[in-house]
Structure 1
């Protein structure tokens, strides 16, 4: 359950891991309990390959190298066709994407060669012996982009594709990388599809939970108010030691609840809020091909529970949601100890409980992005995990101060431009239900930097395989993106 808590932790984004399989941690609200890469690989038949990569692209005196994992699908390639490069993110690259997904529909129509490169420090791509702070200094979006550039250059030369047009694909954090790859290396990548990409870095991101409020209300008008009432009732119980035995029982905790500091309370409250945050972010997605489980839990299901007066007061319904999620993911009990979580997150070994992506991703948020989904706005349904709670984790886990965090986020926006993207041939799809759209681009910047805002869809929806249940506007969005690619590849 330590990892399950990681799964609620930062709620960050970003990949969906739209392109990864992960055991779960608190990040982009990207990960659910998925099958491991090996299991999925056996099902898909995709063969993993290895690329010799530089450890530090920005120090010519450092000659150290390592092996980076990648995958290839040549089934649709026609001589002279483009090369599609799917970018991995904050979790293991899932080879299921080599046989499924909208990008392969495009590849078949356009005769494209398809490659997927795993992100350094995630999955099996281990540039260093451990995850110590000395090693993690080589983990950044800048190094990841340089990995992509070097991979593209070497593979193009080796395969005789130097004259081919390359298109970058990514969802969530990899969506940002796709846009930035085109922005920073325009001579190497011709176009990019940057799905659900948070392009603006920010320390405090209370807007995430504001979108959660609106998304819940779109299903049932009183749903967010019921959640808010339940969360406040739970906060009151946490402040009363005499209520802790009842809370322990109500939420099936692994041991008796102990609230020693504000971090303990915030950790527990955010963990339970994560049930709603995760479901909203991935509402009605189509990730079954990845090996995901529990995708039948939707906003409608959660609001149905919260609206069921037969279960008791909103607090009792909130506990019922927690039990539903535990049953869905076969979790026996919840570990509500912040100190236990802190121990997991500071374990620097590759065998550690947060090595699947939690320690790495939270490090990136503390040193580049922020993205902390706080309860600092009054227009959201949860209580008790303010910005200070998130910022203290940076100090607890990586010795990063609040001042260093703020400076790092400012540098990120200075380097990439935030919302003010100055490039061409980048399409930016987002879904209205997805809380991450608040940090993305939802209106056209220029005719060559179009946005595709898909009402009623969630995180990375346009990346998943089409199905009969898809909203008409989602099908139209996929078609629109294809027409853009078709036109751009002729330019």
Structure 2
């Protein structure tokens, strides 16, 4: 299912949403987990933020909790944003909808991005609907597993359809209004599915990098990461491979284990976890995530939460990995790890599996994990998979995080 556009005149330049406000001491597995970066994959646009800081675009909409149970009349308040600045209030026949994803929505996007350029051209009213269970859109009292049963892509699509029908009435849009949906990554999937499922409501969709095939073992993912590293140089790719192999050698003896503690700024001594397969898997998956997270958002012109506005790219990482003055390849891997820890203002790398699971099991809306990590993990466990395993061969990050590692997380968290 390919992207759909309502008008052939709309050029397909990249729409700046891409396929994932922590306290200062967040740990490394929270930066990039299950294909999602901390704070959600949308982030904020770069550039000057003018009117978004001066206007209040935030509004609230009464939404149904369960669209598929006619006997359930419970409702909740869903947040949305609206910008009428470019709207032709005489014709009232073009509406743009930016679909929220696995993170908090922000009013910064109501004045930034390619979709705003299109809105000016086509005199559209612009809406952004925050995804249920993310940001301030809380359908239930907490994030307990029974409450998360209402978190699904199908419920989210029904939210969008209900919202469109309500906005048609509230803003007195023309009977022949053309709605165009925008989304990237998971919201890109929703944009495509929305056009497919509700063609009577949505005239067209622009889906950027939307994964449309749910796949439990997404082992091809790290093939693409490898290709990205190779696009810089084969030397970079081989340095990562050699550094990973050197980690495995150091793990085999106590002196090496203690060197790893210091070199990679581990929060807990690795020698205490050497027999814990899940801890070791988490360590290797986290270090691979240092590269995967950058590859996934390489040069995308966005600002992620807690990243202090840094724009780290594949070139940044590969320049480190090919810099022989740093030392052996393992030292260069550690330098990449230092860069990510410092960028996200972390004191150490927490590789402990039980720590991750304990955090993920917190069901309070006031918890750190409620920024989206628990919710997105639930969606991957119940609908999508998308687990970026080490099963693809050959690849340079080792073989320590197979599909069983991710399935175990689903069982332990929910």
Q: TM-score, normalised by structure 2?
A: 0.87
Q: In the alignment, which of 373, 378, 398 is matched to residue 358 of structure 1? A: 373
2:71 paired residue among 61, 68, 74: 61
Secondary structure of 2:150 counterpart: coil
Matched residue, 1:196: 209
Structure 1 residues 41 and 354 mapped into 2: Cα distance closer, same or farther (>3 Å)? farther
1:285/1:295 contact within 8 Å kept: no
Residues 370-419 of structure 1 show CA distances to partners (whole Å, capped at 9, x for unaligned) of: 00001101132211211111111111111xxxxxxxxxxxxxxxxxxxxx
Rate the CA distance shift 1:242–1:41 in 2: closer, same or farther, 3 A.
farther
Q: How does 1:302-451 map to 2 (within 5 A)?
A: 302-383=317-398, 384-398=400-414
SS of the residue corresponding to residue 333 of structure 1 reads: coil
**Is the Cα contact below 8 Å between 1:284 and 1:295 reproduced in 2?**
no
Structure 2 residue matching 1:67: 3-state secondary structure = strand
SS in 2 for 1:296: coil
| Equivalent in the alignment of 1:75 | 85
Note the C-alpha offset of 1:326.
1.7
2: CA distance between counterparts of 1:123 and 1:40? 22
- Out of 92, 99, 115, the position equivalent to 1:87 is 99
**Contact map agreement 1:253 1:334 (CA 8 A) in 2:** yes
Distance of aligned partners of 1:289 and 1:357 in 2 relative to their CA distance in 1, 3 Å threshold:
closer
1:199-231 deviations in Å (ceiling 9; x for gaps): 111001111110111111111122112111111
Q: Kindly tell me: are residues 4 and 43 of structure 1, through their superposed partners in 2, closer, same or farther at Cα, counting changes over 3 Å?
A: farther
Quick one: structure 1 residues 46 and 226, their matched pair in 2 at CA, closer, same or farther if it must change by over 3 Å?
farther
Q: Which runs of 5+ in 2 are unaligned?
A: 1-24
Quote the Cα distance in structure 1 between the aligned partners of 2:188 and 2:180. 12
1:129 alignment partner, one of 116, 119, 141: 141
Aligned to 1:489: none
Count matched residues.
381
Separation (CA, whole Å) in 2 of partners of 1:77 and 1:240? 67
Aligned to 1:158: 170
Alignment match, 1:104? 116
Q: Counterpart in 1 of 2:296? A: 281
Offset at residue 41 of structure 1 (A): 9.8
Give the whole-Å Cα distance in 1 for the aligned partners of 2:176 and 2:98: 19
Structure number with higher relative contact order (C-alpha < 8 Å, ≥ 6 residues apart): 2
Compute the displacement of 1:294 (Å): 4.7
Aligned to 1:117: 129
Instruction: Give me the whole-angstrom Cα distance separating, in 1, the residues matched to 2:395 and 2:111.
Output: 39
Of 30, 48, 57, 1:6 maps to: 30
After superposing the two structures, state which structure 1 stretch, 233-242 or 153-162, moved more: 233-242
1:143 correspondence with 2:155: yes
1:244 paired residue among 232, 239, 257: 257
Segments of 5+ residues of structure 1 without an aligned counterpart are 25-29, 399-491
Query: What TM-score, normalized to structure 1?
Result: 0.74
**CA distance in structure 2 between the aligned counterparts of 1:197 and 1:124, rounded to whole angstroms:** 24
- Distance across 2 between alignment mates of 1:234 and 1:147: 47
**Stretches of 4+ moved more than 6 A in 1?**
39-42
Q: Deviation per CA, 1:339-374: give whole Å up to 9, x if none.
A: 111100011111222110000001000000000001
Distance across 1 between alignment mates of 2:341 and 2:50: 23
Q: Distance in 1 between matches of 2:331 and 2:376?
A: 33
**Which residue in 1 is equivalent to 2:240?**
227
Q: Distance in 1 between matches of 2:330 and 2:54?
A: 43
In the alignment, the residues of structure 2 paired with residue 44 and residue 201 of structure 1 have an alpha-carbon distance, to the nearest angstrom, of 41
